[in-house]
Structure 1
Amino acid sequence: MGDVHQEIAAPRTPLHQFTVPLSATRRGARLARLLATEQLHSWKLPLDPARLIVAELATNAVVHGRVPGRSFRLGLTVTACGVLRIEVTDTRGECLPTRRSAPGEPAESGYGLLLVEELADRWGVRSGPAPVKVVWAELDLAPPRDFDDVAEVLT
């Protein structure tokens, strides 16, 4: 599993947190995107590319991480360091995302993770506790021009 980033970083202090369980259905994936959009808007953060990343990760949880009768979880966190972290947790811990070795390699799926890789500053997967896995992506928020802008954006 050397092709997906493992999380080793120390926890960051959250300024804002949002988490919600959703049904592992296409409707649940759509609702994840809509709820993320509303939450980002309420925090006065840019909607894109975060909502595109949420859409891809939620769709992957529904298509590849679905266990009948179990939900997936969407989490959004804004840290004091100016990082937006998106996490999607599902109960198919044995089904880890992979990357294609060659960019032009044909595949029936996997393009969503290529999109996440292009849009996110960092992304990866964290296992456990069994049977759970968390696919995460981080976006560095645009640096504000001065301290007052930081306070306005992050509060």
Structure 2
Amino acid sequence: MNSQITTPATEFVRRFSSTRRGASSARKVALGQLDAWGVPHGSERSDAAALVVAELAANAVLHGHVPGREFELRLVLGTVLRIEVTDTRAERLPSRPNPEAVGGCAESGRGLLLVAALAMAWGVEERVPGKTVWAEVGV
């Protein structure tokens, strides 16, 4: 008889195509993984995480796209949920959003404002090749 105690995985990593479809898939897969970890679909925590994943994945596709390269989604569940999206384009680092710079009629530029509002913390880490944009949300 095996007496080892197993615990559910608390880390998830997957690569997605650097396309709109890939960004959409990342959000859906993240929701499924969170549900498997006990963060149910439709809960406030799940909805916040889904928005953060969607924004970071969309930014990776829009601003971090390198032809033929994928982006990576990493979720780590601990005392907080750490969401990381890594792309291979290092020269386009995001900057802290400035609410005054995003006018009422602007068609873009609000994504990181949303991430900053939903996350306890967020940032950017350079890596070779590329960068990782991360956010931590409460669970």
TM-score > 0.5, shorter chain as reference: yes
Shift of 1:48: 1.8
Give 1:132-143 correspondences, 5 Å limit.
Answer: 132-141=130-139
Determine if the alignment matches structure 1 residue 104 to structure 2 residue 103.
Answer: no
- Tell me, yes or no, if the aligned pair for 1:99 and 1:110 is still in contact at 8 Å: no
State the percentage of identical aligned residues. Answer: 55
Structure 2 partner of 1:126: 125
Determine if the alignment matches structure 1 residue 40 to structure 2 residue 31.
Answer: no
Aligned residue pairs, count: 123
User: Partner of 1:47: helix, strand, or coil?
Assistant: helix
Once superposed, which parts of structure 1, at least 4 consecutive aligned residues long, lie more than 6 Å away? none
- Tell me, yes or no, if the aligned pair for 2:97 and 2:112 is still in contact at 8 Å: no
Whole-Å separation in 2 of the counterparts to 1:104 and 1:137: 22
User: Partner of 1:67: helix, strand, or coil?
Assistant: coil
Whole-Å separation in 1 of the counterparts to 2:48 and 2:33: 14
Structure 1 partner of 2:61: 62
User: Partner of 1:49: helix, strand, or coil?
Assistant: helix
**TM-score computed with the length of structure 1 as normaliser:** 0.75
Structure 2 partner of 1:83: 80
- Tell me, yes or no, if the aligned pair for 1:23 and 1:72 is still in contact at 8 Å: yes
Shift of 1:29: 0.2
- Tell me, yes or no, if the aligned pair for 2:66 and 2:89 is still in contact at 8 Å: yes
**TM-score computed with the length of structure 2 as normaliser:** 0.83
Structure 2 partner of 1:3: none
Shift of 1:140: 2.4
User: Partner of 1:89: helix, strand, or coil?
Assistant: strand
Shift of 1:104: 2.5
User: Partner of 2:76: helix, strand, or coil?
Assistant: strand
Whole-Å separation in 1 of the counterparts to 2:131 and 2:77: 21
User: Partner of 2:59: helix, strand, or coil?
Assistant: helix
Whole-Å separation in 1 of the counterparts to 2:109 and 2:132: 17
- Tell me, yes or no, if the aligned pair for 1:61 and 1:88 is still in contact at 8 Å: yes
- Tell me, yes or no, if the aligned pair for 2:123 and 2:133 is still in contact at 8 Å: yes
Whole-Å separation in 2 of the counterparts to 1:140 and 1:114: 17
Structure 2's unaligned 5+ residue stretches are: 1-8, 40-44
Match of 2:91 among 89, 94, 108: 94
